[in-house]
Amino acid sequence: MLRLLNIVFLLTLADSSSARLYLGYSLNHFQYREPSVMKQHGPMQGLELGKFWRNSLGSLQIGGEYHFGHLTYEGSGLFDPTVSIKQRTPHQIWHFSGTQTFGPGKFRPRLGLAYRYWNDKNGPNYQRETSYLYLPIGIQIFLNFNLILNLDYYYFIRGQNESDLMGGIKLTQKNGYGLHANLTYFLNRNLYTKLRLTYWDIQDSELGPEVPNMPGSFFLEPENNTLHSSVVIGFLF
């Protein structure tokens, strides 16, 4: 609800006559690690779609990304750490954001609200869904008339990890942060290319229910980090 209200408020400030739509395709490398537990890594493909406007505060951008592919899982068994597993599993990542950039000039502050959803299926009997709600806080730097650098700190509001173990387990994540860099080059008025790098560092979740047949042990989502790099080619309309 907060995200929706934020977007509606910003849209009221937008000048629709200056709006432009963008559509891009990306090649990605994704790496997720839970130290001493497991890692998932590999290539993904992606699409991005969005719109931006000039408004009385500067400029507003609202958009989404979709990434998909099969990643290699390497780690131990869920209930038996002595078992080693290596397999390829399907993954999907969705990302939605609204970001307001303030003012003219070479250096422009940025503030937004964003949501990230990741679905990974590790085997026939285990599916996990992870979502993050966060605030992108950063600066946009105009290096020249067709080259723009965005640098953002992701203030982590809340995360939730849900799996289908034992009929469904939900774990809440409250501590972490992200870093993001995005370099966009406009080849002409209707064509752009982009280099994008995102890093996440998330701490242990709150404790969940007790593990069956293991008194005193509780489910949790362990501390983890993610590195996601992308190369994008896109069109402006």
Read off the pLDDT of residues 74-129 as tens digits, 9 standing for 90 and up.
987 665 666 778 889 999 999 999 999 999 999 999 999 999 999 998 665 678 89
Residue 151, pLDDT score: 98
Amino acid at 220: L
Strand partners, 161: 130, 171
Q: What's the confidence (pLDDT) of residue 58?
A: 96
How many domains is the chain partitioned into structurally? 1
> Is pLDDT at 2 greater than 80 in this prediction?
no
pLDDT at 78: 61
Tens digit of pLDDT for each residue in 30-47?
999 999 888 999 999 999
Could you list the residue range(s) of the whole structural domain that residue 72 is in? 2-236
pLDDT at res. 135 = 98
Lowest mean pLDDT among 1-15, 75-89, 110-124, 157-171: 1-15
Confidence of residue 201 (pLDDT cuts 50, 70, 90): very high
Residue 214 clears pLDDT 80, i.e. is over it: no
pLDDT, tens digit, 9 for 90 and up, residues 173-196: 999 999 999 999 999 999 999 999
Predicted pLDDT at 14: 45
Averaged pLDDT, 64-82: 83
Lookup: tokens for 216: 């005193």
| Mean pLDDT of all residues belonging to the chain | 89
Give the residue from 127, 97, 128, 93 showing the smallest Cα distance to 110. 97
Q: How far is residue 18's CA from residue 230's CA, in Å, rounded to a whole number?
A: 28
Does the predicted model carry a pTM greater than 0.85? yes
User: Please, what's the b/e burial string for 136-161 (b: 16 or more CB within 10 A of its CB; e: otherwise)?
Assistant: bebebeeeeeeebebebebebeebbb
Top-confidence range, 12-21, 34-43, 111-120, 157-166 = 111-120
Give the pLDDT band (50/70/90) at residue 49.
very high
Computed on alpha carbons and rounded to an integer, the radius of gyration of the chain in Å comes to 20
- Nearest-CA neighbor of 130 among 163, 176, 90? 163
Q: 70: domain CATH number?
A: 2.40.128.90
